[in-house]
């Protein structure tokens, strides 16, 4: 997110040295003396802890807002120890990071009190916003009771209740839940499950996957392999399984005067041909239902999913709906692939 013009703090060059920080501290907190300087933390904590001078506070893991360091100090600490995802770190020598102290609803706030409208919902909080009170209370309550127990050989009421609720929401026929750590892992699980199924029924020639051009399914090696965004994939290609890539039905590219449905139907001919040619060796087709998000929010008509469901059945190929980015109401329905005519064989659900 580009910083708003005029905010001297976020435009500050990121690799500033300590002397510069001191003058920025004064500028960011006009009227205040350097109450947050590390030696002050030490003193104030030492006082509150009965003069024990071994107790120090330099802002690390400290939730007292009065102890916040200036934004610039967090930037320097970050750059010394953090590599950010999907990022060329060199860029941050020119484009400063924005340190965020807290979030509420649609708003983020940095360490100087500057607020930002989180117009991209930090990708994953568009449904409920930041620090949703009901969700946080439920998480807190659960943490007090049981923080985790291995799910192999054990079970508990919350996982049963969640699985019952998800099964009730899921497309017909999807009655079991398997939990993974994140979106990429969920895609890995779906891919492995499909392969494993065909192996169990003796169809061992089925080892390949069909995907759409410009699709994105995550960063782990299997998920990267079934995606098609070169920016993420190109360098790792020698490590990845080969997939069958079919032109995307992306309606941005439709001909003048052509409707979304007409375009998606026309594009489906490529999928039909791929299925006819590769069904004997294909485990599954994997798609992002309706919107190819990381590929540039490219959308297609629901008729494509209906045609795909029918063709996958006819050719005996699984259909994996990767709903990591579009599930739980983000495209209107709870599961965009859950219309009766297009229900997938397996479904990767988002984390919210
Ligand atoms: C469609 C889709 N699938 C999978 C993933 C990977 O999810 P994660 O980042 O949790 O591994 C993403 C992430 O953006 C995604 O958009």
- 182 Cβ below 6 A of ligand 1: yes
> What is the residue extent of each domain of the chain?
100-147, 156-348
Minimum CA distance residue for ligand 1 atom 2: 217
Percent of the chain clearing pLDDT 90 (strictly above):
70
Can you say how many angstroms the Cα of residue 140 is from the centroid of all Cα atoms in its chain?
23
pLDDT tens figures, 4-59: 333 333 323 322 333 333 344 434 444 333 333 343 334 444 344 443 434 455 55
Q: What is the pLDDT of residue 352?
A: 55
Q: Is pLDDT of 190 > 60?
A: yes
- How far is the centre of ligand 1, averaged over its atoms, from the C-alpha of 220 (Å)? 10
Q: Which residues of 50-70 are buried (b: 16+ CB within 10 A; e: fewer)?
A: eeeeeeebbbeeeeeeebbbb
| Locus of tokens 């969640």 | 162
User: Residue 268's closest CA among 299, 293, 297, 303?
Assistant: 303
What span, in angstroms and rounded, lies between the C-alpha atoms of 105 and 190?
33
Which is the closest atom of ligand 1 to the Cα of 323? 1
User: Is-contact 115 10, C-beta < 8 A?
Assistant: no
What span, in angstroms and rounded, lies between the C-alpha atoms of 297 and 312?
25
- Note the pTM of the prediction, 2 decimals: 0.81
What span, in angstroms and rounded, lies between the C-alpha atoms of 246 and 274?
7
Q: What is the pLDDT of residue 287?
A: 97
- 293 Cβ below 6 A of ligand 1: yes
Whether domain 156-348 has CATH 3.40.640.10: the reply is: yes
Indicate the pLDDT class of residue 340, thresholds 50, 70 and 90: low
Q: How far, CA to CA in Å, does 2 sit from each of 74, 86, 197?
A: 18, 16, 47
pLDDT tens figures, 215-248: 999 999 999 999 999 999 999 999 999 999 999 9
- 3 Cβ below 6 A of ligand 1: no
User: Residue 202's closest CA among 316, 295, 94?
Assistant: 316
What span, in angstroms and rounded, lies between the C-alpha atoms of 263 and 255?
8
- How far is the centre of ligand 1, averaged over its atoms, from the C-alpha of 218 (Å)? 5
Q: What is the DSSP letter of 186?
A: H
């Amino acid at each position: 997110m580009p910083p708003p013009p005029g905010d001297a703090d976020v435009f500050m060059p990121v690799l500033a040295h300590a002397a510069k920080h001191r003058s920025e501290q004064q500028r960011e907190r006009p009227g205040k003396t350097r109450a947050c300087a590390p030696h002050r933390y030490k003193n104030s904590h030492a006082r509150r802890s009965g003069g024990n001078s071994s107790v120090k506070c330099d802002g690390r893991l400290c939730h007292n807002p009065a102890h916040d360091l200036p934004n610039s100090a967090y930037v320097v600490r970050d750059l010394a120890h953090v590599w950010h995802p999907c990022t060329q770190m060199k860029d941050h020598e020119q484009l400063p990071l924005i340190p965020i102290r807290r979030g509420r609803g649609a708003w983020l706030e940095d360490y100087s009190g500057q607020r930002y409208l989180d117009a991209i919902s930090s990708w994953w909080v568009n449904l409920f916003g930041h620090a949703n009170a009901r969700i946080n209370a439920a998480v807190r309550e659960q943490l007090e009771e049981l923080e985790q127990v291995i799910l192999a050989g054990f079970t508990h009421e919350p996982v049963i209740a969640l699985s019952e609720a998800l099964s009730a929401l899921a497309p017909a026929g999807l009655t079991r839940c398997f939990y993974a750590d994140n979106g990429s892992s969920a895609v890995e699980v779906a891919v492995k499950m499909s392969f494993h199924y065909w192996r169990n029924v003796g169809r061992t020639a089925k080892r390949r996957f069909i995907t759409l051009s410009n699709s994105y399914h995550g960063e782990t090696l299997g998920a990267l392999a079934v995606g098609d965004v070169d920016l993420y994939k190109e360098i790792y290609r020698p490590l990845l399984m080969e997939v069958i890539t079919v032109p995307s039905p992306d309606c941005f590219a439709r001909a003048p005067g052509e409707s979304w449905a007409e375009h998606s139907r026309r594009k489906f001919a490529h999928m039909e041909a791929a299925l006819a040619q590769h069904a004997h060796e294909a485990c599954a087709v994997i798609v992002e239902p309706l919107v190819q998000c990381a590929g540039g929010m490219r959308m297609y008509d629901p008729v494509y999913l209906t045609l795909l469901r029918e063709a996958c059945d006819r050719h005996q190929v699984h259909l994996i709906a990767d709903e990591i980015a579009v599930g739980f109401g983000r495209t209107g329905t709870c599961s965009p692939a859950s219309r009766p005519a297009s229900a997938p064989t397996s479904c990767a659900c988002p984390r919210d």
